[in-house]
């Protein structure tokens, strides 16, 4: 844009690592390797396999070297992010499929491996889970490394700039994030990415402000453009004026003060001003995230997703393999509880397993509890593993996507069978383990009074509840505006579920994104929610919100909202309430 461009040109992305930075832009396009395609002879196969194995070994060593550098720089817990990369380079399913393709198609191994890896990436990218979608980035990163070794190419690029700068790129891999010069890099902006991407996690660990999800930004900027990055709000300001710089200098000081305040309350109780205790739990995807639960001051785990154990394997994980993962979660959470959700995925993502059928519309098909009930052997293996893990801590089991009483009862019949089997085998488990169900289908909320008589708790998955209630795919950019958590229909369904829980003396939580939206927390408490489960990094600020509120004002807010028909006005009323109680948090 140069110096003649207008000042204060604002781009809005997604802030994923807090902080404010100003510097020159360094625009870095990721170059895609040109993959040569050539036919080979059968006699060439052993040589191709040898090259492949050498490249895998070299890639593994490269990743271990990076992991060691991270551990030295910012600690072993952050270095564990690269465990996922190492799993990719050692994944026999991926490797064996490439070797089969080599023998079948008789093309060079670079081309075959790239084709196989791309198929895996497409599969992950299609899953309706931002975290799992981001795992495709891991595979892409490892694939590039393997292919570079096969082609004899070296990595370069990001170390070229020798002045303070903000990296602007289409995609930043975790290893890119680690290897940047922290003395010169003030922040980074990417066209792709999400809050759960490994690069975002690394940026937060390194203390580097970051914005993602700004498509097209690489084409709009040139090297040397002056830019100001707001990692709190996701704003990117090109050619900031002197007035804007001064304003942001004051904002930065206020934000630092708030961060210090949040650090100071991490170990305090999440009680309202009038003494009501609200349980604050953490959502996690992988056992490697367990350290962040305690660090954030969470009271255990409100949602442990088990899907990672099942993806991209030739066969379903064994009972012992699952038991080891669940036991680790139970032990690390003690003395707090851990809610383990049973498999919540569609058969389209498990098509490589026996007896799985592809469906034209998997999101409205045989997924989650439906798939488990159609695959009782698969389901019972998981139930047995969860039961066994309950002997090692306060484990709670939760069923996803329950839509009717019959599904809940059928699941509990299989659970009882597992209990009897384990007793007969002399295996230990907690016979009083709490059983709950997610409320994420409108039908479940409408019959919550019936469901509540047969479970110990509810947990509202607001992401899916909004999608299914309003028939809106939140990933479809054309209709993003219709995805409205403050829609009266959604609020009424939450209220119905909370009312049913209270009347039947069970507790109810929220584990969807609404729980982490600090302006909506008062509304959720007013509707009768007892527990909030959010990303571990959000626990301190949600705790501060809870500590700033009184239950009576939350109930009054919920009552006012209940009579309002306009989602936008409900949203604004909630924000106005938040501005009165904790204005300093709304800037974070």
Residues 275 and 192 in one domain: no
- H helix or E strand, kind and range, residue 533: strand 531-535
Question: What pLDDT is stored for residue 4 in this prediction?
Answer: 47
Higher pLDDT, 204 or 455: 455
- Note the pLDDT tens digit of each residue in 104-147: 999 999 999 998 888 888 777 666 666 666 667 778 778 888 88
Residues 54 and 18 in one domain: no
How many CB atoms are closer than 10 A to CB 111? 19
User: Domain limits at 56?
Assistant: 42-151
Backbone angles phi, psi at 429, to 5 degrees: -165, 165
Higher pLDDT, 37 or 526: 526
pLDDT over 70 at 588, yes or no: no
Do the domain assignments include residue 50?
yes
Q: Which residues are catalytically annotated? A: 198, 511
Backbone angles phi, psi at 11, to 5 degrees: -115, 140
Q: Find the CATH number of the domain harbouring 339.
A: 3.20.20.60
Do the domain assignments include residue 1?
no
Task: Report yes or no: 353 and 373 within 8 Å, Cβ to Cβ.
Answer: no
Of 106, 127, 151, the domain-final residue: 151
Residues 379 and 413 in one domain: yes
Per-residue confidence at 348, pLDDT binned at 50, 70, 90?
very low
Average pLDDT in the chain: 86
Residues 440 and 321 in one domain: yes
Task: Report yes or no: 435 and 412 within 8 Å, Cβ to Cβ.
Answer: yes
Per-residue confidence at 87, pLDDT binned at 50, 70, 90?
confident
- Note the pLDDT tens digit of each residue in 395-436: 999 999 999 999 999 999 999 999 999 999 999 999 999 999
**Domain total for the chain?**
3
Do the domain assignments include residue 227?
yes
Do the domain assignments include residue 4?
no
Do the domain assignments include residue 468?
yes
Residues 310 and 238 in one domain: no
Residues 19 and 78 in one domain: no
Question: What pLDDT is stored for residue 1 in this prediction?
Answer: 45
Question: What pLDDT is stored for residue 281 in this prediction?
Answer: 96
Backbone angles phi, psi at 508, to 5 degrees: -135, 135
> What is the Cα–Cα distance from 250 to 542, expressed in whole angstroms?
24
Residues 309 and 227 in one domain: no
Residues 162 and 147 in one domain: no
User: Does the model's pTM come out above 0.75?
Assistant: no
Question: What pLDDT is stored for residue 364 in this prediction?
Answer: 79
Of 226, 251, 276, the domain-final residue: 251
Higher pLDDT, 76 or 256: 256
- Note the pLDDT tens digit of each residue in 540-561: 999 999 999 999 999 999 999 9
Residues 424 and 568 in one domain: yes
Per-residue confidence at 33, pLDDT binned at 50, 70, 90?
low
Of 224, 251, 278, the domain-final residue: 251
Do the domain assignments include residue 37?
no
pLDDT over 80 at 191, yes or no: yes
- 463, two tokens: 């992401």
Q: What is the DSSP string of 252-310?
A: HHHHHHHHHHHHHTTTS--B-TTS-B-EEEEEESSGGGHHHHHHTT--SEEEEE-GGGT
Backbone angles phi, psi at 471, to 5 degrees: 55, 50
Which of 30-39, 243-252, 568-577 holds the top average pLDDT? 568-577
> What is the Cα–Cα distance from 109 to 90, expressed in whole angstroms?
17
> What is the Cα–Cα distance from 532 to 513, expressed in whole angstroms?
10
- Note the pLDDT tens digit of each residue in 52-61: 999 999 888 8
- Note the pLDDT tens digit of each residue in 360-380: 666 678 889 999 999 999 999
Per-residue confidence at 504, pLDDT binned at 50, 70, 90?
very high
Do the domain assignments include residue 259?
no
- Note the pLDDT tens digit of each residue in 138-185: 787 788 888 878 877 655 556 667 789 999 988 777 667 666 777 889
Q: Find the CATH number of the domain harbouring 222.
A: 3.50.30.10
Do the domain assignments include residue 256?
no
- Note the pLDDT tens digit of each residue in 301-347: 999 989 878 865 667 889 999 999 999 999 999 999 999 999 987 64
Residues 146 and 163 in one domain: no
Task: Report yes or no: 587 and 254 within 8 Å, Cβ to Cβ.
Answer: yes
Residues 228 and 140 in one domain: no
Residues 516 and 387 in one domain: yes
Question: What pLDDT is stored for residue 119 in this prediction?
Answer: 85
For the chain, what's the residue count? 588
Percent of the chain predicted with pLDDT > 90: 54
How many CB atoms are closer than 10 A to CB 172? 29
Task: Write the burial class of residue 154 (CB in 10 Å: 0-12 exposed, 13-18 middle, 19+ buried).
Answer: exposed
Question: What pLDDT is stored for residue 476 in this prediction?
Answer: 62
């Amino acid at each position: 844009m140069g110096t003649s461009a207008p000042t204060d040109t604002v781009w809005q992305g997604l802030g994923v690592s807090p902080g404010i930075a100003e510097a020159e832009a360094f625009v870095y396009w990721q170059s895609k390797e040109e993959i040569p395609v050539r036919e080979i002879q059968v006699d060439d196969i052993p040589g191709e396999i040898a090259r492949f194995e050498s490249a895998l070994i070299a890639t593994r060593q490269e990743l271990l070297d990076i992991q060691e550098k991270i551990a030295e720089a910012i600690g072993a817990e952050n270095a564990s992010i690269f465990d996922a990369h190492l799993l990719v380079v050692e994944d026999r399913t991926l490797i064996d499929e490439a070797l089969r393709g080599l023998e079948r198609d008789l093309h060079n191994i670079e081309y075959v491996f790239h084709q196989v890896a791309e198929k895996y990436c497409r599969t992950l990218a299609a899953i309706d889970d931002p975290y799992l979608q981001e795992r495709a980035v891991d595979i892409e990163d490892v694939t590039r490394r393997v292919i570079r070794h096969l082609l004899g190419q070296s990595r370069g690029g990001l170390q070229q700039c020798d002045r303070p700068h903000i990296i602007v790129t289409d995609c930043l891999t975790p290893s890119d994030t680690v290897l940047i010069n922290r003395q010169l890099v003030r922040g980074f902006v990417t066209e792709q990415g999400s809050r759960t991407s490994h690069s975002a996690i690394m940026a937060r660990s390194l203390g580097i402000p970051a914005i993602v999800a700004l498509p097209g930004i690489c084409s709009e900027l040139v090297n040397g453009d002056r830019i100001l990055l707001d990692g709190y709000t996701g704003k990117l300001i090109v050619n900031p004026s002197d007035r804007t710089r001064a304003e942001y200098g004051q904002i930065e000081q206020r934000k630092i003060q708030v961060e210090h305040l949040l650090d100071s309350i991490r170990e305090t109780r999440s009680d309202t001003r009038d003494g009501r205790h609200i349980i604050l739990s953490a959502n996690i995807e992988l056992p490697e995230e367990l350290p962040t639960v305690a660090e954030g001051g969470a009271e255990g785990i409100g949602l442990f997703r088990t899907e990672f154990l099942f993806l991209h394997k030739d066969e379903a994980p064994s009972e012992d393999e699952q038991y080891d993962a669940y036991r680790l979660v139970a032990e690390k959470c003690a003395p707090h509880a851990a809610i383990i959700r049973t498999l919540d995925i569609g058969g389209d993502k498990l098509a490589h397993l026996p007896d799985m059928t592809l469906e034209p519309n998997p999101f409205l098909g045989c997924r989650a509890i439906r798939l488990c009930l159609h695959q009782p052997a698969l389901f019972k293996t998981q139930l047995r593993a969860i039961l066994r893990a309950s002997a090692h801590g306060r484990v709670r089991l939760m069923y996803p996507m329950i839509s009717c009483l019959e599904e809940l009862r059928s699941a509990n019949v299989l659970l009882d069978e597992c209990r009897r089997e384990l007793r007969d085998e002399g295996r230990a488990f907690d016979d009083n383990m709490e059983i709950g169900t997610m409320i994420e289908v409108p039908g479940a909320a409408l019959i919550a009074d019936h469901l509540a008589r047969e479970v110990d708790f509810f947990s509202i998955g607001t992401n899916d509840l909004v999608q299914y209630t309003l028939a809106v795919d939140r990933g479809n950019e054309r209709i993003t505006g219709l995805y409205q958590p403050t829609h009266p229909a959604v609020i009424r369904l939450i209220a119905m579920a909370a009312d049913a829980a209270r009347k039947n003396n069970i507790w109810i939580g929220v584990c969807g994104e609404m729980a982490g939206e600090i302006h909506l927390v008062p509304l959720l408490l007013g509707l009768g929610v007892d527990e909030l489960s959010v990303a571990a990094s959000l626990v301190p600020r949600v705790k501060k919100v809870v500590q700033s509120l009184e239950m009576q004002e939350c109930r009054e807010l919920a009552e006012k909202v209940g009579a309002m028909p306009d989602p936008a006005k409900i949203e604004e009323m909630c924000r106005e309430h938040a501005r009165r109680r904790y204005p300093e948090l709304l800037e974070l």
